[in-house]
Structure 1
Amino acid sequence: MRKAREVLVIGGNRYFGKRLIARLVAAGDRVTVLNRGSSPAPPGVAHLVADREDEEALREALGTREFDVVLDQVCYTPRQAETARRVFAGRTGRYVMTSTVEVYEHEDSELLVPESAVNPASVAVDRELPWDDPEFLDSHYGEGKRQAEAVFTADSAFPFVSVRVAHVLGGDDDFTGRLQHYADRIRTGAPIAVPPVTHPATYIHVEEIADFLFWAAGEDFTGPVNAASSGLLTLDDLCTAVASQLPGGKTVFDETDSAEVSPFAFRRRYGMDNSRATRLGFAFGEVRQWLPMAVAETLGKDG
């Protein structure tokens, strides 16, 4: 019989985070959620309130608690990583950080990009950058994640995994509004702003990334791992899938050189190689198989 684990989830109490928590609870794990108190923990889940950037407050909230696994959904900067590394040293047997495909933002390759393209052990960490400035952080999202990975990797305070997540689609609670953006425009025939040339990307369904994080929490591998469904989608693929469920809708592309374009209208390829995770034992779905379902879920959101 599987032994119940003590699991801490930092932040991420919505979208795929809430699905992850539900999987942990269903598996019999004793789950604690830590956040700043902006949202309650689900029923049956312990709740700790602290600002993760306040080391003293974080230590006080944790008390003497120890965990088999920490799942960090909201680590965005090297400073946050350094605080977590100090606080959780000796408190956890495994640390899983949710990272992003954006760590590969400088890797424009026609091939699917493997984890080795960005080795966190080789990433320089600059603690003096204005990581507390929301505007800076927003425009340096990939760099913040790269440097956070580097901090954890440089000091093996605990076995560490960084899950580099592809663009997530699906669910009736997608707060990003990215797929909804296309539904709104195709339904009305409004123009969709795109660069002169767009490139394909890898994606993952909201339920699949919850499955993946749950699986990763129970394995013993370390280091970065890509999480993406098999196959690439172009912007045309996405729009065609949306239009097929909106009779009478019309897709109108408006080419522009402006930096402001529609979501997923990529100027470079965002294709991740998922073969490491596959070799480790996770079976990904095919993106084209679940795309119609993801679109239907999104359309159901607005009736």
Structure 2
Amino acid sequence: MTVAIVGGSGFLGRHVALRLLAHGARPLVIHRGNEPANLPEAVLIAHADRTDEAALRAVFGAHDVKVVIDIFALSLGNTQPVINAAARQGARYVLTSSVDVYANYAGLLRKETPPIRPAPASEDAPLRNMRYPYRGNPRRPQGVSEDLFDNYDKLVLEEAAAAADLDLVVIRPPMIFGVADKQRRFGWVVDNARPGEPFAIDERAFGWPNSYGYVEDVAEAMVLAALSPRASGKTYNVGQDIVRTAAQWATHLLAILDIDSAVVAAPAGQGVWADRADAMDLRYPLTLDTSFIRADLGFAELIDEDIALRRTLASYAPLGH
């Protein structure tokens, strides 16, 4: 079976291709060709722009694509052509969505004031009402254009895909960490740790819970959902089955780094994450309940957590390099 990965040459897509190979599928990575894919020879490569529906349809047809996994779906403009091409091909469409579709995220951004839901969100938890959460936000991630940032909304994409005539599977991951993560998800610990000195976290962020997922494990979950007949029409939260607060993450990561520092709460406005606490309402957790995909598809992590964390932390270049 040929499975197309649109945007498959980057951080997450590369691991999805490798897991497809491990499951006996034939991965077809579709990207613009601006950078080398660095993938095994068994992975098929095609060059096309994801906004060029005709080019995508031609590639899907030439390779008899049965499933399309969409990695870099950010805005309706950069995603509707992929949805349309998948529908014309009669292929299953696997959308990479996000934890940010849930109502807690709108509260976290101070865009809405939904009831605070302290428990990890299951797939049927309330979704946010507001749209385009990053419009007006100056903190644009590396590699994301201003247009994509302003028009980013995974909830809009879920709605567009659901309205199309295709077999839809939605994956909602949290923040993803791993080797070659340009966003350095745990850089806040690595960059601020000083052996022998307390590791201070703003008291407003000290107890804030957040979910993460390791890139190889998230890729495995996506491939299970892409290939399983059981997954048809379903939505799955994907990520670790544990939840830690900022303080607990710092304690765990400092131990892995072999840095002897006490994790302490600093007064508001001081310490790590003071800027985040200023910008967000950290009464709202950003956590996921991932039990459904484990029960429904038998998902389990491939990599021991401490091994995954050691690999990730070892890959970080010093700040500023």
Normalised to the residue count of structure 1, the TM-score between the two structures is 0.79
Segments of structure 2 that go 5 or more residues without pairing to the other structure are 107-113, 137-143
| Alignment match, 1:299 | 313
Q: Deviations over 1:123-162 (max 9, x none)?
A: 7989xx99xx933643664xx111001001012x211011
Q: Deviations over 1:272-296 (max 9, x none)?
A: 122322331324459xx94433332
| Alignment match, 1:231 | 242
1:180 aligned to 177, 187, 208, which one? 187
User: 1:181: Cα distance to partner?
Assistant: 3.1
* C-alpha contact (below 8 Å) 2:75/2:157 kept by paired residues: yes
Task: Map 1:238-257 onto structure 2 (within 5 A).
Answer: 238-250=249-261, 251=263, 255-256=268-269
Between the aligned partners of 2:173 and 2:239, the Cα distance in structure 1 is: 7
Q: Describe the shift of the 1:206–1:282 C-alpha distance in structure 2 as closer, same or farther (beyond 3 A).
A: same
Q: Secondary structure at the match of 2:288?
A: coil
Task: Map 1:1-303 onto structure 2 (within 5 A).
Answer: 5-41=1-37, 42=39, 43-62=41-60, 64-104=62-102, 105-106=105-106, 108-118=116-126, 134-135=145-146, 137-138=148-149, 141=152, 144-155=153-164, 157-169=165-177, 171-187=178-194, 194=202, 196-197=204-205, 198-220=207-229, 221=231, 222-250=233-261, 251=263, 255-256=268-269, 260-261=275-276, 267=282, 268-285=284-301, 290-301=304-315
User: 1:259: Cα distance to partner?
Assistant: 7.7
Q: Describe the shift of the 1:14–1:249 C-alpha distance in structure 2 as closer, same or farther (beyond 3 A).
A: farther
* C-alpha contact (below 8 Å) 2:67/2:92 kept by paired residues: yes
User: 1:15: Cα distance to partner?
Assistant: 2.8
Q: Describe the shift of the 1:61–1:44 C-alpha distance in structure 2 as closer, same or farther (beyond 3 A).
A: same
* C-alpha contact (below 8 Å) 2:211/2:242 kept by paired residues: yes
Between the aligned partners of 2:61 and 2:94, the Cα distance in structure 1 is: 21
Between the aligned partners of 1:214 and 1:116, the Cα distance in structure 2 is: 22
* C-alpha contact (below 8 Å) 1:33/1:47 kept by paired residues: yes
Q: Describe the shift of the 1:91–1:259 C-alpha distance in structure 2 as closer, same or farther (beyond 3 A).
A: farther
Q: Which amino acid aligns with 1:109?
A: R
User: 1:28: Cα distance to partner?
Assistant: 2.9
Q: Describe the shift of the 1:74–1:247 C-alpha distance in structure 2 as closer, same or farther (beyond 3 A).
A: closer
Q: Deviations over 1:65-90 (max 9, x none)?
A: 43111111111112333222222223
Between the aligned partners of 1:119 and 1:245, the Cα distance in structure 2 is: 36
| Alignment match, 2:111 | none
Q: Secondary structure at the match of 1:204?
A: strand
Between the aligned partners of 1:84 and 1:184, the Cα distance in structure 2 is: 38
Q: CA RMSD in A?
A: 3.4
Segments of structure 1 that go 5 or more residues without pairing to the other structure are none
Normalised to the residue count of structure 2, the TM-score between the two structures is 0.75
Between the aligned partners of 2:293 and 2:248, the Cα distance in structure 1 is: 25
Q: Describe the shift of the 1:266–1:284 C-alpha distance in structure 2 as closer, same or farther (beyond 3 A).
A: farther
Between the aligned partners of 1:7 and 1:45, the Cα distance in structure 2 is: 10
* C-alpha contact (below 8 Å) 1:101/1:272 kept by paired residues: yes
Between the aligned partners of 1:110 and 1:138, the Cα distance in structure 2 is: 28
Q: Which amino acid aligns with 2:16?
A: L
Q: Secondary structure at the match of 2:251?
A: helix
**Count, aligned residues:** 285
